């Protein structure tokens, strides 16, 4: 069975470390065929730490790469060839042989270019103190340009045709320059050389590839960012130009004629809620930010500060609801309650007018009403959390509390950053049976190192 991994928060919950564990199959278990990326682009930051101390922040490569699992960048990905080359170099330096040989790219995937990134940064600078918290890497510009000029948007397949790519890059540069002024990006010829190198080193595939891949064995679909940043369901305008729910993966499965329910839907949460940059974080507690250090997350030039708060049950319930439900949870940072005795779960808020709010209302009809999402943002920005209730320091009481709060079983527990710090849970549930490979241990680690 395939697995879809989605972050139920604002990102940074630990998708990468969960995918790494799913791909590290024990002897005798059916190996994972590939990791399929189905949303976002080079702005993803999925941290994986190996048992021997190697660390990599996965952006476009799948987080199963250390286990030798191939990556497929689907048509829904936004592919940045320059960032991809830098990521491949880092992986090679960590001992991954020929990383680009592990990669297939759908020809239809949109390309993110230096012109998109420069335009993104120009717009964010112009917002001044009203910045949205963009990563500054051109993701939104890539999506917006493709919507405005679908026939002229550069794709991965164009990288194999210097003539066509030159035409599209020149149009892109000129249009953005006319709108925003000089962009400070490299000349078109320099981009052509870099993108041609990309096309020569990766395997470009068409729409027939993914259906064949899905028939070969289990695949892990690795999502980017978090549901609470979703382009339609997130709290506008502090959102991403990407669908961050299970929808993209389900769309790809349907296109490949896979039956409904062919993949297990795994939602990732931390024991505390975090956010990178501005926007609602009702349960924010500066004391948590100070006492739970993040070795791989910090202040970003474009995103802003990394913030932490108590587990936000209403926000995560909202994420589960707009996703259409989950089959199970992967809970990371289960070592945190033992390191911070005051860590707890917030089950409700009080709004600015003093009224209680235990549920964030989801749109009753189809998504897309950004005015509605803006009004919801305004409410959340002024809401105040109820007192956090601590389940205690025992991780088992935490998994029980989170199961109750989100009405889903905990199928994976994480007590630290490495694969060895992950255990499978879920008892005898059908979802657990689908997820847990034969031979996997199913108990808490004897030690609980700091991390994910």
Instruction: Return the DSSP state at 304.
Output: B
Do 48 and 88 have their domain in common?
yes
Do 374 and 412 have their domain in common?
yes
How many distinct helices (H) and strands (E) make up the chain?
14, 20
Do 62 and 133 have their domain in common?
no
Domain count, the chain: 2
What are the φ and ψ backbone dihedral angles of 5, each rounded to 5 degrees? -110, 120
- Report the alpha-carbon distance of residue 63 to residue 158 in Å, rounded: 27
Do 241 and 368 have their domain in common?
yes
Contact of 73 with 103, CB cutoff 8 Å: yes
Question: 74 vs 29, which has greater pLDDT?
Answer: 74
- Report the alpha-carbon distance of residue 79 to residue 112 in Å, rounded: 6
**Would you name the residues annotated as active-site residues?**
12, 46
| Residue 12 marked ligand-binding | yes
pLDDT surpasses 70 at 13: yes
Do 354 and 414 have their domain in common?
yes
* 450 belongs to a structural domain: no
* 449 belongs to a structural domain: no
pLDDT value of residue 450: 42
Do 262 and 382 have their domain in common?
yes
Do 145 and 258 have their domain in common?
no
| Residue 115 marked ligand-binding | no
pLDDT value of residue 446: 44
* 444 belongs to a structural domain: no
- Report the alpha-carbon distance of residue 252 to residue 270 in Å, rounded: 27
* 448 belongs to a structural domain: no
Element (H, E) at 346: strand 345-346
SS3 state at 42: coil
Write the pLDDT tens digit of every residue in 82-107. Answer: 999 999 999 999 999 999 999 999 99
| Residue 414 marked ligand-binding | yes
What CATH number does residue 180 fall under?
1.10.300.10
* 447 belongs to a structural domain: no
**This prediction's pTM:** 0.93
User: Which of 157, 185, 201 marks a domain boundary?
Assistant: 201
| Residue 334 marked ligand-binding | yes
Do 170 and 236 have their domain in common?
no
pLDDT surpasses 90 at 130: no
* Residue given tokens 């717009």 in the structure block: 123
CA distances from 391 to 86, 215, 346, 444, 448 (A): 43, 43, 11, 17, 18
* 130 belongs to a structural domain: yes
Write the pLDDT tens digit of every residue in 248-294. Answer: 999 999 999 988 788 999 999 999 999 988 899 999 999 888 888 77
Do 49 and 197 have their domain in common?
no
SS3 state at 184: coil
Q: Which domain holds residue 34?
A: 2-100+208-435
CA distances from 246 to 33, 202, 251, 325, 450 (A): 20, 27, 9, 10, 29
Is the peptide bond prior to 263 cis by the omega test (within 30 degrees of 0)? no
């Amino acid at each position: 069975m395939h697995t879809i991994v989605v972050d139920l928060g604002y990102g940074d919950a630990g998708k990468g470390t969960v995918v790494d564990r799913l791909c590290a199959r024990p002897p005798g278990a059916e190996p994972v065929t590939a990791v399929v990326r189905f949303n976002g682009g080079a702005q993803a930051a999925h941290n994986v730490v190996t048992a021997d101390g190697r660390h990599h922040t996965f952006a476009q490569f799948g987080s199963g790469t250390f286990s030798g699992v191939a990556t497929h960048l689907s048509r829904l990905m936004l592919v940045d060839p320059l960032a991809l080359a830098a990521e491949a170099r880092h992986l090679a330096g960590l001992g991954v042989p020929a990383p680009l040989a592990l990669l297939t790219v759908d020809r239809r995937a949109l390309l993110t270019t230096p012109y998109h990134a420069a335009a993104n940064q120009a717009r964010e600078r112009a917002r001044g103190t009203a910045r949205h918290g963009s990563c500054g890497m051109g993701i939104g510009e890539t999506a917006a340009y493709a919507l405005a000029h679908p026939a002229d948007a550069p794709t991965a397949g164009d990288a194999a045709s210097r003539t066509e790519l030159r035409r599209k890059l020149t149009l892109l540069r000129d249009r953005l320059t006319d709108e925003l002024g000089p962009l400070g990006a490299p000349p078109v010829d320099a981009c052509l050389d870099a993108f041609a190198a990309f096309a020569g080193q990766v395997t470009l595939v068409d729409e027939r590839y993914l259906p064949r891949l899905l028939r070969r064995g289990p695949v892990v679909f690795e999502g980017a960012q978090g549901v609470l940043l979703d382009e339609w369901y997130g709290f506008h305008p502090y959102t991403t130009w990407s669908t961050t729910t299970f929808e993209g993966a389900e769309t790809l499965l349907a296109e490949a004629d896979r039956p409904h329910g062919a993949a297990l839907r795994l939602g990732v949460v931390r024991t505390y809620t975090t956010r990178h940059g501005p926007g609602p974080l009702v349960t924010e507690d500066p004391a948590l930010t100070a006492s739970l250090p993040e070795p791989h997350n910090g202040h970003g030039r474009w995103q802003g500060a990394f913030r932490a708060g108590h587990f936000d049950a209403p926000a995560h319930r909202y994420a589960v609801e707009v996703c259409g439900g989950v089959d199970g949870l992967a809970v990371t940072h289960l070592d945190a309650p033992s390191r911070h005795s005051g860590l707890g779960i917030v089950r409700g808020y009080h709004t600015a007018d003093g009224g209680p709010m235990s549920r964030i209302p989801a749109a009753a009809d189809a998504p897309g009403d950004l005015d509605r999402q803006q009004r919801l943002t305004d409410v959340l920005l002024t809401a105040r959390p109820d007192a956090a209730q601590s389940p205690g320091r025992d991780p088992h009481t935490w998994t029980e509390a989170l199961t109750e709060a989100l009405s889903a079983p905990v199928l994976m527990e994480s007590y630290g950053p490495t694969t060895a710090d992950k255990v499978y849970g879920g008892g005898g549930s059908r979802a657990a049976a689908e997820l847990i490979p034969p031979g996997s241990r199913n108990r808490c680690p004897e030690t609980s190192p700091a991390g994910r």
